[in-house]
Structure 1
């Protein structure tokens, strides 16, 4: 049976789609770039009343929302991939900590950044201030994470987890990779490794081409 992903190219659905691709699981994407306007948000409202992506409908008909929750669930649904430390693993606490941190402290700010008028109305100066301050806050959060982890080949050691996929995608968003490398150089080396995974090259090219503003500086 098929998974259904409500998402969009370059969005928070990309790491979800990446896991399904690695698992070889059948899935289809309902392309819903909610940042483009009210019509797109209404399209996803029946699946996620928050009118946000990603949302995942499982083959059993269950609806899952919240990117970190979906990724953790998928890692447990496909344990053969080894994409999450299991309960009892020494890495489990830090895995849950940083999955939640990225979701709550960084990802959540993009709801504000996508349409700052949601909070400050049509005041152009206030909107510009929000965009500037959220860039600084995102950079600060990445630097906090950088100082408190000890990456190996991947963020939690020598095995990739969904945390690596999550960070690899979100670090592409503004303030973009140059600023990310500036504040989180060790994590930067890891996400470049994730970018280069042979098994995901065709997937990245389709769903989040690393070019233009999103290119990673050499």
Structure 2
């Protein structure tokens, strides 16, 4: 990874906060371009210059290369900075499960939030929005439960080392159906998430960029 400042298109209380956390732990300087693309046409137009999907996070590397998709960005940052050990190495026995669960969180859980701002995206009438959102939350709860049943966390989800998977789950678990449901459905992962919440290197970031869960309930989450 080339040295220099990155540019991150992101928003508070969105998946881009996990990328901010990784950049913070890695000590990589970045300039944040703030924009709630789920509620602002101006923000969508701004992001569209770099990402045709008009979503955050979108990361511009120092050499100008564009990265999108939160899981891909997190894996890239970890792999590009192996000394930090934020991802299992390619020859590490934990690597396969790391990739499995990173993409599981992205595709099976985080992606479902795309439906909630506009249920017409899946052909449902707006009159059915409450039922659709409830069904989405039930599916997400099922997915957290399935993930929890198949993991054997130690200090962190994959063992004794903090990885970007821990950061990802710590952020995405704050979205619907909210943390109290996550803790109930994922009792093995719950202590890990609480540990990441309290990490002194990230505490200020979490407090500044992830609003209280009750406030998150009324926000729309943008996908990426």
TM-score range, shorter chain: over 0.9
> Does structure 1 retain, via aligned residues, the 8 Å contact 2:6–2:29?
yes
* CA shift for structure 1 position 79: 1.4
* CA shift for structure 1 position 85: 0.2
* CA shift for structure 1 position 212: 4.0
- 1:30: which partner in 2? 33
1:69 and 2:66 are equivalent in the alignment: no
Segments of structure 1 that go 5 or more residues without pairing to the other structure are none
1:160 and 2:155 are equivalent in the alignment: no
SS of equivalent residue, structure 2 residue 116: helix
More helix by share: 1
Name the CA distance, whole Å, in 2 between partners of 1:145 and 1:196: 22
Higher relative contact order (CA 8 A, sep 6+): 2
- 1:7: which partner in 2? 10
1:125 and 2:142 are equivalent in the alignment: no
Aligned residues: 214
2:146 equivalent among 139, 144, 147: 144
* CA-to-aligned-CA distance 1:134-183 (integer Å, 9 cap, x gap): 00000000001000010001000011100000000000011100100111
- 2:188: which partner in 1? 186
1:199 equivalent among 174, 195, 201: 201
* CA shift for structure 1 position 210: 4.1
SS of equivalent residue, structure 2 residue 24: helix
Structure 1 runs (4+) deviating above 6 angstroms are: none
SS of equivalent residue, structure 1 residue 151: coil
Name the CA distance, whole Å, in 1 between partners of 2:28 and 2:34: 18
Q: Give TM-score scaled by structure 2 length.
A: 0.91
SS of equivalent residue, structure 1 residue 64: strand
2:173 equivalent among 171, 174, 178: 171
1:78 equivalent among 77, 81, 98: 81
Segments of structure 2 that go 5 or more residues without pairing to the other structure are 218-224
Q: Aligned in 2, Cα 1:169/1:57: closer, same or farther, shift over 3 Å?
A: same
* CA shift for structure 1 position 214: 5.7
